[in-house]
Amino acid sequence: MVESGVLVLLDIDYFKRVNDTYGHPIGDACLQAVAQRLQELVRKGEIVARFGGEEFALILVEGGIEAARLFGERLAEGICFKVYEIGGGQFSEVVVTLSGGAAILHPKSDLRDLLSRADKALYEAKQGGRARLYFVGRKEPLFIGTRTSTLISRVDAALVPDR
């Protein structure tokens, strides 16, 4: 059981646009690419879980607000994956960013309250311009993404054109 740490809720920015542009199979590949990158970014003993839809929940152990800031910096580049068109040999690189909200996790934390506080900070990140991480009770984001990307080539997706 985690004694202390930070709960981070993350949401893929403009995920509906990915599904609407490329279709749901590519949206699924996007979710896989994000999950893979999050697994690469967390330290041993930290938890990554899909929370629903295009949201992910992470438990960062120890470190409090500094752990959240350092995680945000590792995430700042965004996530990129390749989309291939079947039979055409062409591909596109799709870049997504994440917005996040974080709250301190204590041994006596009430789960509903903790989720509510992290969700409120996530909402502030979305309202503040996306591609950033807010911490409960702070007016400024812990990080703002660069909107560049880290290419994830292991999660490639085939795009079947609608014809």
Q: Is 19 exposed, middle or buried (0-12, 13-18, 19+ CB in 10 A)?
A: middle
* DSSP class per residue in 144-162: E--S--EEEEEEEEEE---
Query: Could you tell me the sign of the dihedral formed by the alpha carbons of 153, 155, 24, 49, in that order?
Result: negative
What is the number of other CB atoms lying within 10 angstroms of the CB of residue 15? 18
CA distances from 86 to 10, 27, 30, 96 (A): 31, 16, 17, 22
The active-site residue out of 3, 54, 66, 85 is: 54
29/81 Cα distance (integer angstroms) = 8
Q: Reply yes or no on whether 54 is catalytic.
A: yes
For residues 128 and 70, is the Cβ–Cβ distance under 8 A? no
Kindly list the catalytic residues.
Answer: 54
